[in-house]
Structure 1
Amino acid sequence: MMIKVLLLSVSFATIFACIHVKWNPLYSNRKHLAALVLARGGSKAIPLKNLAKIGNESLLSRSLKVILKVNGFDSIWVSTDNYQIYREVIKSSVNIYWRSAESATDEATSIFAIQQFLVDHPYVNAVALVQCTSPFLKMEYLQQAVTLFTRNECVFSVSRSNNLRWKKVDNELVPLNFDLKNRPRRQDFQEFIENGMFYFSTRKLIENGYLQNLG
């Protein structure tokens, strides 16, 4: 299926919306959009990374303050399996969802954790996954995403990439995204990379195993 792509540039991130050519009126009549932060306690690389501090404030606390300023979320949740994270969350007016041990392992995916959340919250029609490990999250970014999401199946944040990438083939390096004879200027690059700041998706997409839909 053909799709349209809408890019909304902001100072740090670009908000990318997946839009079907045929507009679906259901997108503008969602009943419940839940903001969800996944914050398990068992990170191996950086233990309790969600509680890491910038200045005197944890990443989790900073993100929740931003989310609470946004208009459009019907509920705000932190999904965790850790009591220290729980104690951080109860300082705010945010709901706690105790995730299962199965969804808090190193192997468990974010999609699986969100699917489990949806099973236990059947009234939720769409989820905005916000990752608190993105310290540059701003209220303006989320507010623009909420607006875009009223008529789109998914919205997520990306950053423009102007990196010249190479690939190793048979012990040789070959250019992957540019022509050696016509090296592109920075402003000519049309590549974008996910920056992981947030993902807005419908229940249907998530139940089918996706955060984005490009077809």
Structure 2
Amino acid sequence: MLNGKRVVSLTPARGGSKSIPYKNLCDLGGKPLLAWPVDVAFATPEIDEVFVSTDDEKIGTVAADLGAKIHWRPDELATDSALVVDAVRHFFSQQQQEGKAPDIIVLLEATSPFRTPEMILNCLRRMLDEELDSIATFHSAEINPERCWKIEQGIPKPFIDGAIPWKPRQELSAAYQLNGAVYAFRADRLPTNGPNILFGKIGAEIISKDKVIDIDDRKDLIIANAILES
């Protein structure tokens, strides 16, 4: 609870990952990847309940063993093309029907395991202090968009018209990317359609890129384990 607001965390964890089968259950630092968002949610006193959204019995069993509550999502919300926000809408609707609708949902993706309770709390505090509708964590972009290219009919061109890819790094415009560590938003203001999780009055919590990793494939998982070992 934060200033009288009921806060819940939600971690989406479908069973059909193609890059790594059962990616959410892969070992990272001696525990399943799914345990990282669940554990940090329990370590954040402002979060009242911890949920995992899944379609898969095996993942559901692991999540329950970790102490999380399970939101069972329908199969059509667990396909490769399904949007995370649709699973969030389904979760919120279900909570409303049960008379337990949260004021704030904190979305914690399992593929960004190195978040801390401080990151979550910073986002929650800023939501209230700045009267935000939604907020997410960002870090400086791995590749500045002014240095990106597009190739049309075999001919490379700057991705941004008029950009000069050769400019010194110090002269490039500051650019940031979402990292999936923390999303937080006022649940009752979530748009009823569309792909956006960030909406309304939006805040950006900037964190160091050294503190985040997005695990998409086996190479990322190896790197994440190496970071922990070092």
Normalised TM-score (structure 1): 0.77
What 5-or-longer segments of structure 2 have no aligned partner? 202-230
Q: Is the 8 A contact 2:158 2:165 kept in 1?
A: no
Q: Give me the whole-angstrom Cα distance separating, in 2, the residues matched to 1:97 and 1:37.
A: 10
Residues 66/190 of structure 1: CA separation in 2 closer, same or farther (3 Å cut): same
Stretches of structure 1 that go unaligned for 5 or more consecutive residues are 1-27
Q: Secondary structure at the match of 1:174?
A: strand
- Say which SS state the counterpart of residue 133 (structure 1) adopts: coil
For 1:72, what is the secondary structure of its paired residue? coil
Question: Aligned partner of 1:130: which letter?
Answer: L
Query: 1:140 corresponds to which residue?
Result: 118
Paired residue total? 188
Shift, 1:75, TM fit = 1.7
Structure 1 or 2: more helix by fraction:
2
Structure 1 residue ranges, 4+ long, deviating more than 6 angstroms after superposition: none
Pick one of 41, 49, 53 that aligns with 1:75.
49
**What SS is found at the alignment partner of 1:37?**
strand
RMSD: 2.4
1:30, 1:126 within 8 Å by CA — same for their partners in 2?
no
In structure 2, what is the Cα distance between the partners aligned to 1:75 and 1:68?
Answer: 8
Aligned partners of 1:127, 1:68: CA distance in 2, in Å? 14
Match of 2:182 in 1: 198
Amino acid at match of 2:175: E
User: Residue 151 of structure 2: SS of its match in structure 1?
Assistant: strand
The CA distance in 2 between the partners of 1:86 and 1:67, in whole Å, is: 17
Match of 2:127 among 149, 156, 159: 149
Deviations 1:103-136 (A, max 9, x none): 1222221011111111101122332111011122
1:167 is aligned, of 150, 158, 178, to: 150
Q: Secondary structure at the match of 2:121?
A: helix
Is the Cα–Cα contact under 8 Å of residues 71 and 143 in structure 1 kept in the other structure?
A: no
For residue 90 of structure 1, give the secondary structure of its aligned residue in structure 2: helix
Supply the distance in 2 between the matched residues of 1:170 and 1:140 (Cα, whole angstroms): 48
Higher relative contact order (CA 8 A, sep 6+): 1
Query: Would the aligned equivalents of 1:36 and 1:130 in 2 still touch at CA under 8 Å?
Result: yes
Instruction: Name the CA distance, whole Å, in 1 between partners of 2:18 and 2:154.
Output: 33
